[in-house]
Structure formats: C-alpha cells, structure tokens
Homo-oligomer: A and B are copies of this chain.
Amino acid sequence: MSDLKNRILSLVKDDLDGIEAALLENLHPNLDLVSKVAHHILFSGGKRLRPLLMVLSARLCDYRGDYDKTFSVIFEYLHAATLLHDDLVDGAELRRGKPASHIVWGNEIAVLVGDFLLARGLAIAAETDEPRIIKIISEITENMSQGEIHQIDRKGKIDLSETEYMDIIKCKTAVLFQGACRISAILAGAPEEKEMALAQYGYHLGMAFQMVDDLLDYTFDTQILGKKVGADLREGKLTLPVIMALAQAEPGDRTMMEKIIRDEKFTNNDFKWLVEKITEQGGFEYTRSLAFEHIANARQALELFPVSPTRDILFDIAGYALERTH
C-alpha cells in the first residue's frame, strides 16, 4: 500500500468504521435472500470512497448533526445497485475477486436486489426531508442509467467521440461523486458557494477517477488488475486513450487498430501492438494529463475553505485518485 493511501486510511479510520456500521444498520431487508445478496455486493472490500467523501464534505461545512453517516450510505447503496446491474449487463464473472452476484444467484436475483438497493437508497434520501437533496439523488440515478445505456448503445462503435466519452463518464461516475460532496453541504445548511465548490470538487474527482480506471484497463499486470487484460476493449468499450489514438493515427495504423478492436478475441500480441500505437500517439499521456487537470480543478475548488485537517484529507484523496495510474 502506498504511503498516501496509508496516511488517508489512518486519518479516516473512525469514519470508515461508522460508515461500515451504518451500511449494515440501514439495509432493512425483509428477506434472508435479499440480505445475503446485498451483503455479498456490499461487504466485499469496497473502498467506501463515496460515503467517505460525503462524511468529510459535511465536516468541511461544519455539519453538527448525527446523520452524516446514515445519509452517506445512500451513495454506497446506489453504487452497489449499479455494480449488480452492470456486472450482469457486461457479463462480468468476477467482482473484487469474488464471483459476481449474477453468477452466484442468477440474473433474476441480481436485477431485483439491484432494484431493492436503488429503492433503499432513495428511501433513505427521502428521510432527509429535504426536497432538494431528494431531487439531486433521483437525478443522479437517472443520469447513471442513461450513462450506462449510452455506453452500451455505442459499444463497439469505432467513431465514439471524445465528447461522447466525457458525457458517458460524467453520467456513469462523476455525478455520484458530485452528489456525495454536494449533498453534505445542503445537509449542513452551508451557503451556496460552498455547495457549489464541493460539487465542483466531487465532479472533477469523479472524472479523474474514471479516467484513471480506464487507464488501468491497459495495465498488463493481471495481479493488480484482478480481471482480464484489455477487458473494456474486449467488451467493445472504447475509452479515452484509444479514442485519442484512433483520431491521431495514420490511415494504415488506424485500419489495423480498428481491426484489433473489432476482434473480440484479439491476442495478447495484438493488444501489445495496440498499446504501443496508443503510446506512440500519446493516448495514455493525454488521458493522464486530462485526469491531472481534473484533479487540479478539484483541489482548487477546495481553496474556498480555510485550511483544516479535513480539507487536507480531501486534498490527499484527490492525489490518491491520480496515484492509481502508476
């Protein structure tokens, strides 16, 4: 584990313990089966990054209530719901080293427990009694489903543009990060400028987080990856490095690249050649530089708040999001 990650974890240990307890307390399933499946997806080594962002953002806004951890679970439940549905949609076999829920219990149960977690997240949002919070959360769920649909609709399409890619990762990832940070400001009754600053922080962090995730798909070390090399590409998901490289490549290379991308069963050598081409065209460097820019913007948004240990942690979390590239 990196020093940065270690430092963050030691500083937020109590918060993470509180979040863990709240995740367990607020599930309220009627049926043993729901409980089992929900536990399988919820308690299998998730980073709890989204609820943690909400708890820290609330502290940054001097929130004094007792419900930050309770409401923070909304973001983990919504996240878990999309993981259940996405793994099924993508036909993924593993999730965090364990068999995916749809493999263990079947598609039916994965769909319906996902629905339950979505509903549970929204039910807890309703408990805030804050129509603005509820609206933001229901909009997030709309955006997330549309982002996923957009990605699936454009699966295998060589002409996916950078703009479309940005829109997809915004919807499927950044809006949830944004919501987690923003809602805490509303809950704390913070002034609008603070709410907007935290929304900016969350948005940029989420964009960078997804870009780094997409870069990781080009890692050759399956040990680090925990899944197949080039999994996104095999599923027909074009991400920024390859989108950028395709746009820049000479016609001959471009044709060859397209051929590999279209071939679901491309060999490791094909993939290596593709990675070389992407490197040549600067696709990885470009993606990393955009992620870096988003992190810089995220950190800048924090400048509105006076220096504090909590601000430092949020600053460090932004650094950690980038560090995952290496």
Contact = CB atoms under 8 A, between A and B. Distances in A.
A200 B138 CA distance: 28
Given A146-B30, A146-B31, A149-B116, A111 B85 contact: yes
Given A115-B118, A126-B131, A149 B107 contact: no
B107 A88 contact: yes
Interface string A70-112: 0000000000000001001100000000000000000111011
A85 B112 contact: yes
Please classify how large the interface on chain A is, using the bins under 10, 10 to 19, 20 to 34, 35 or more. Answer: 35 or more
Contacts of A17: none
A198 interface: no
A120 B141 CA distance: 8
A29 B150 CA distance: 11
A118 B141 contact: yes
Given A89-B112, A111-B85, A131-B131, A149 B31 contact: yes
A-side interface mostly: helix
Contact of A149 (B113, B120, B138, B150): B113
A112 B31 contact: no
Nearest to A108: B89
A126 B118 contact: no
A142 B126 contact: no
B29 A112 contact: no
Interface string A147-171: 0111011000000000000000000
16 contacts: A31-B146, A34-B146, A88-B111, A107-B107, A109-B149, A109-B153, A112-B145, A112-B152, A113-B145, A114-B115, A115-B141, A115-B148, A116-B142, A116-B146, A123-B142, A129-B131
Interface of A: 29-31, 33-34, 85, 88-89, 107-109, 111-116, 118-120, 122-123, 125-127, 129, 131, 134-135, 138-139, 141-142, 144-146, 148-150, 152-153
